[in-house]
Amino acid sequence: MSAALSGAVDLSAVKARAEAAARQAPQSGGGAAGQANGATNASVIDVTEATFQAEVVERSLRQLVVVDLWADWCGPCKQLSPVLERLAGESGGAWVLAKIDVDANPRISQLFGVQSIPTVVAIAGGQPVDAFSGALPESQIKQWLQQLLDLLRDKLPGVQGAQQAPQEEPQQDPRFAEAEDAFERGDFAEAEAAYKRILDNEPGNEQAKAALVQVRFAARAANTDPSAIAKADADPSDLDAQFAAADAQVAMGEVENGFARLIAAIRRTAGDDRNRVREHLVSLFELFDPADERVAKARRDLASALF
């Protein structure tokens, strides 16, 4: 199940930079180091390059640390991260989740040789021990974690004690469980139908709304022709090709290029065709945080193209 890390990962580079930053920081308890030390019992922590040494490397000497490398623009990250956060909270301290925004901390992602996100790396004894990429089903993630904990129980002091604490399985909303199971099977039509049933009863359910947007995009992206971008470039007048190419670019992380493609199509079209392109572009905006600068810029460009 593990994904190969790109070469041997040497965490000493991050350690050196973190120590240099610490020497330059004011010597008070209110700095990054003070915040890191105050959060040592948290099951989910946000980590930066400045806190990486304390919160990941040093912590991993006594406790399994699972690093979640994510970004705001990454659709699969939004499926995976909540699962990891919940499992960390349920672990009774057996392991801690360290979340790292790759856009804000690019040198850490370079350190791990990350090829795509989400990427999840297990750190123990100061070094990576296993990893995987992509939004795996929850059952596979649980199995992966348990194998790591079994392997490390006699090696890390924090693992043995945490495993002795009784665990209570939280109650999961069966409606969401049904939808998530369908999504994990790749049955996007059933997942969409399940989320629609939730919204029929609860039109204001924001979790279901956000999940429905992600499911619809995942269904489109899964059926995208690998040559979609080349086909769209060859025939700018083919709107369906432009839609498929934009989806492919967003799925690959080329968000700005996907947005720009559709804005260019809006400038070339009129009437119903222009409205079709606008609706598709807006559906892509909904995959991201409205505050995302890429979305804000694309909205400005869209307004310029329309008016």
Please report where in the chains the tokens 């904990």 appear, as a residue.
Answer: 149
**Under a CB-based contact definition with an 8 Å cutoff, are residues 101 and 71 in contact?**
yes
**Under a CB-based contact definition with an 8 Å cutoff, are residues 102 and 108 in contact?**
yes
Give the contacts of 235 (CB within 8 A, at least 6 positions apart). 241
Q: Kind and range of the H or E element at 13? A: helix 12-24
**Under a CB-based contact definition with an 8 Å cutoff, are residues 70 and 102 in contact?**
yes
Query: For the chain, give me the number of helices (H) and strands (E)?
Result: 15, 5
Instruction: Answer yes or no: 74 catalytic.
Output: yes
Q: Calculate ∠ Cα 254-101-91, nearest 5°.
A: 125
**Residue 115: other Cβ atoms inside 10 A:** 12
Q: Order of strands across the sheet with 119-124? A: 44-46, 95-101, 64-70, 119-124, 127-133
Question: Which candidate in 77, 84, 135, 248 is catalytic?
Answer: 77
Question: Which candidate in 47, 56, 69, 74 is catalytic?
Answer: 74
CA 58 to chain centre: 24
Peptide bond into 118 cis (omega under 30): yes
Q: Kind and range of the H or E element at 138? A: helix 138-152
CA 39 to chain centre: 22
Amino acid at 180: E
What residues are labeled active site?
Answer: 74, 77
